[in-house]
Structure 1
Amino acid sequence: MTTTSTQPTFAPQTEWDAEPRRTTRSTFAGLTTNDDVDLTPVPGKGRAEVTFDFPRVRIGTAQYDEGPTGVTVIEVEGGARTAIDDRGGAVGITGRYPFNHAICLAGGSVHGTAAASGVTDALLERGGRRTGFGDLAVVSGAVIYDFAVRDNAITPDNALGRAAFDRAREGVVEVGRVGAGVGGSCGKMRPTATEWAGQGAAFRQVGDLKILALTVVNAVGAVMDRDGSVLRGNVQEDGTRRHPSIDGAAAFADGGVPGADGIQRGNTTLSVVVTNARLEEIDLRQLATQIHSSMHRGIQPFHTALDGDTLFLLTTDEVDLPAYDPRQGLGPSVASFGAIASEVMWDAVIESVR
Structure 2
Amino acid sequence: MTAGPTNSLLDVSGLRVGHWQQLDDHVTVAGEQPGTGAATGCTVILTDRPTVGAVDVRGGGPGTRETDLLDPSHSVRHVDAVLLTGGSAFGLAAADGVMRYLEEQGRGIPMGTPGAVVPIVPGAVIFDLPVGHWHTRPTADGGYAAAAAATDSVLPRGSVGAGTAARAGILKGGIGTASIRLTDGPAAGATVAALVVANPVGSVFDPRSGLPWGTTVELGLGTPTEEDLAAVNARGEKGTVLNTTIGVVATDAPLSKAACRRVAVAGHDGLARAIRPAHSPLDGDTLFALSTGTAELPVPEGVPDAFPTELPILAAVCVAAADAVERAIVDAVLSARSVAGIPSYFDTFPSARTL
Indicate whether the TM-score tops 0.5.
yes
The question of whether the paired residues in 2 share the 8 Å contact of 1:303 and 1:309 is answered with yes
What secondary structure sits across from 1:153 in the alignment?
A: coil
* TM score, norm. by length of structure 1: 0.71
Q: Equivalents in 1 of 2:190, 2:82: separation in Å?
A: 21
**Partner of 1:177 in structure 2?**
159
1:223 pairs, out of 195, 200, 204, with 204
Structure 1 residue runs without a partner (length 5+): 8-47, 188-193, 248-258
Alignment of 1:44-55 (within 5 A): 50=8, 52-55=10-13
2:48 paired with 1:70: no
What are the Cα deviations for residues 36-77 of structure 1, in whole angstroms up to 9, with x where unaligned?
Answer: xxxxxxxxxxxx995733332110001112521001000111
Query: Once the 2 structures are TM-superposed, how far is the Cα of residue 321 of structure 1 from its aligned partner?
Result: 6.4
Distance 1:129 1:77, change over 3 A: closer
Tell me the residue number matched to 1:102: 81
**Cα distance in structure 2, aligned partners of 1:82 and 1:301:** 27
Over 3 Å counting, the alpha-carbon distance change for 1:128 and 1:103 in structure 2 is closer
How far is 1:347 from its partner?
Answer: 1.3
Return the match for 1:87 from 58, 62, 69: 58
Distance 1:199 1:241, change over 3 A: farther
| Corresponding residue number in structure 1 for 2:290 | 314
Q: Per-residue deviation at 1:283?
A: 2.4
Structure 1's 213 and 132: CA in aligned 2 closer, same or farther, altered over 3 A? same
More strand by share: 1
Q: 1:200 pairs with 168, 172, 176, which one?
A: 176
Cα offset, 1:339, TM superposition: 1.1
Which one-letter code corresponds to 2:130 in the other structure?
Answer: A
Q: Please give the TM-score of this superposition, normalised by the length of structure 2.
A: 0.71
Residues 162 and 313 of structure 1: CA distance in aligned 2, closer, same or farther (over 3 Å): same
TM superposition shift of 1:6:
2.2
1:53·1:171 contact (CA, 8 Å) conserved in 2?
no
Give the direction of change, closer, same or farther, for the CA distance of 1:240–1:151 in structure 2 (3 Å limit): farther
Give, in whole Å, the separation in 1 of the partners of 2:243 and 2:137: 16
Q: Report the Cα offset of residue 332 of structure 1.
A: 4.6
One-letter amino acid matched to 1:209: A
Distance 1:180 1:203 in 2: 20
- Kept in 2: contact 1:108–1:146 (CA 8 A): yes
**Aligned residue pair count:** 285
> What is aligned with 1:140?
122
Mapped contact 1:324–1:332 kept (Cα < 8 A)? no
Structure 2 unaligned residues grouped into runs of 5+: 25-37, 71-77, 183-187, 214-223, 305-310, 335-355
Q: Distance in 2 between matches of 1:93 and 1:63?
A: 20
> Shift in Å at residue 316 of structure 1?
1.4
Retained in 2: the 8 A contact 1:321–1:332? no
1:1-354 superposed matches below 5 A:
5-6=3-4, 50=8, 52-66=10-24, 67-96=38-67, 97-98=69-70, 99-127=78-106, 132=111, 135-187=117-169, 194-206=170-182, 207-224=188-205, 229-231=210-212, 239-240=228-229, 263-318=239-294, 319-320=296-297, 323=300, 325=302, 332-354=312-334
The CA distance in 2 between the partners of 1:139 and 1:106, in whole Å, is 12
Cα deviation code 1:228-261 (max 9, x no counterpart): 85439xx9x96427999xx9xxxxxxxxxxx9x8
> Could you tell me how far apart the structure 2 residues matched to 1:262 and 1:78 are?
40
Q: Give deviations 1:159-212, integer Å, cap 9, x for gaps.
A: 00000011110142111100000111022xxxxxx2111000112222420112
1:147, distance to aligned residue in structure 2 (A)? 1.6
1:217 maps to amino acid: A
Judged with a 3 Å threshold, the aligned counterparts in structure 2 of structure 1 residues 340 and 151 are, in CA distance, closer, same or farther, namely same
Asked if structure 1 preserves the Cα contact closer than 8 Å seen for 2:108 and 2:120, the reply is: no
Residues 49, 175 of structure 1: 8 Å contact kept: no
Cα shift at 1:320: 3.8
> Aligned-pair RMSD on alpha carbons?
3.4
